[in-house]
């Protein structure tokens, strides 16, 4: 079984929907192919995270809805005011509906970003545990950047802030946000930094409407992300927030100079 056949069956495999023969064939390929194995692990991470998502309306929103229902249920005292009260109730219900939609929309955007943050953290940790930090080891960006030619459908920009204390260590292929991505690896003393890069077009829109730079922390790791003109950038490391922010600023500054 090749990679294409495995990718077509991997969702059903993760959900335990394959028969025994095909399940064994997929499992054999996953044992031999680290790229497809990474796809499976990312799907398992996303599956677990999605199961945790729940939307619980705030107490304030529930109170507003209950109040609107009680007002509508009351007997009208003056028939001459019926039409105006109907308009008022309709406006109130519309306002509540808009408020609810906005809250759900905001929760959806934040949840999508949280899922993506968990995914890049999982990829970062996996690269350290599996001793598969880089596919090409080099501190020369003119060596690392061409290595991706023919391996990805885009050319990742490679910065080298070594003069500022963040030397380039190398690069590798990874799989994030349901697509192959470039993982650029940097060092800061004994810490490794993973910079994930992929095209912004068609990335799922998880970051649409988000601030230009987002920072978060989870499981002892710090994450910085932003959208460039053509690329999405996610930085993750166990490095402290201040130095990781400094690294991200250096990368963005370098990208701005190139453009």
Residue 143 lies in a domain: yes
For residues 107 and 257, give the distance between their C-alpha atoms in angstroms, rounded to a whole number: 35
Residue 205 lies in a domain: yes
Residue 43 lies in a domain: yes
- Burial of 97-110, coded b for 16+ CB within 10 Å and e otherwise, reads eebeeeeeeeeebe
pLDDT of 141 > 60? The answer is: yes
pLDDT in tens, 160-179: 999 999 999 999 999 998 89
The CATH number linked to 233 is: 3.30.200.100
pLDDT of 84 > 50? The answer is: yes
Between 82 and 221, residue with greater pLDDT: 221
Residue 187 lies in a domain: yes
pLDDT band at 51; cut points 50, 70, 90: low
Same domain, 39 and 138: no
Count helices and strands in the chain by DSSP H and E runs: 7, 7
Q: Which of 75-84, 198-207, 232-241 has the lowest mean pLDDT?
A: 75-84
Enumerate residues 6+ apart whose C-beta is below 8 A from 53.
Answer: 111
Between 100 and 149, residue with greater pLDDT: 149
Residue 208, Cβ density class (10 Å: 0-12 exposed, 13-18 middle, ≥19 buried): exposed
Residue finishing a domain among 50, 67, 85: 50
Boundaries of domain holding 217: 134-258
pLDDT of 140 > 80? The answer is: yes
Most confident of 17-21, 67-71, 217-221: 217-221
Proportion of the chain above pLDDT 70, given as a percent? 74
Residue 153 lies in a domain: yes
Number of structural domains, the chain?
A: 2
Residue 162 lies in a domain: yes
Residue 65, Cβ density class (10 Å: 0-12 exposed, 13-18 middle, ≥19 buried): middle
Same domain, 254 and 157: yes
Residue with tokens 């495999």: 13
Residue 64 lies in a domain: no
pLDDT band at 5; cut points 50, 70, 90: confident
Residue with tokens 């100079």: 257
Proportion of the chain above pLDDT 90, given as a percent? 41
- From the CA atom positions of the chain, what is the Rg in Å? 24
For residues 59 and 77, give the distance between their C-alpha atoms in angstroms, rounded to a whole number: 30
Residue 96, Cβ density class (10 Å: 0-12 exposed, 13-18 middle, ≥19 buried): middle
What is the chain's mean pLDDT, rounded? 80
For residues 111 and 113, give the distance between their C-alpha atoms in angstroms, rounded to a whole number: 5
Q: What is the pTM of this model?
A: 0.60
Same domain, 46 and 147: no
Residue 121 lies in a domain: no
């Amino acid at each position: 079984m090749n990679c294409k056949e495995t990718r077509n069956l991997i969702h059903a495999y993760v959900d335990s929907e394959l028969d025994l023969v095909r399940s064994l064939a997929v499992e054999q390929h996953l044992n031999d192919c680290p790229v497809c194995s990474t796809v499976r692990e990312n799907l398992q991470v996303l599956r677990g995270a999605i199961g945790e998502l729940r939307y619980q309306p705030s107490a304030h929103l529930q109170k507003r809805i209950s109040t609107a229902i009680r007002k509508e249920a009351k007997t009208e005292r003056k028939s001459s005011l019926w039409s105006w009260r109907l308009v008022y109730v309709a406006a109130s219900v519309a306002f509540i509906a808009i408020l609810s939609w906005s809250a759900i929309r905001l929760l959806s955007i934040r949840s999508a970003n949280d899922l993506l943050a968990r995914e890049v953290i999982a990829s970062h940790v996996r690269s350290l545990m599996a001793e598969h930090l880089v596919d090409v080891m080099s501190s020369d960006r003119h060596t690392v950047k061409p290595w991706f030619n023919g391996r990805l459908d885009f050319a990742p920009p490679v910065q080298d802030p070594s003069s500022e204390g963040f030397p380039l260590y190398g690069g590798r292929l990874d799989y994030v946000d349901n697509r192959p991505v470039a993982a650029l690896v940097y060092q800061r003393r004994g810490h490794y930094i993973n910079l994930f890069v992929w095209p912004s077009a068609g990335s799922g829109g998880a970051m649409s409407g988000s601030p230009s730079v987002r920072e978060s922390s989870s499981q002892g790791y710090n994450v910085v992300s932003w959208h460039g003109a053509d690329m999405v950038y996610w930085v993750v490391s166990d490095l402290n927030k201040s130095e990781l922010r400094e690294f991200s600023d250096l990368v963005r500054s370098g990208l701005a100079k190139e453009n």
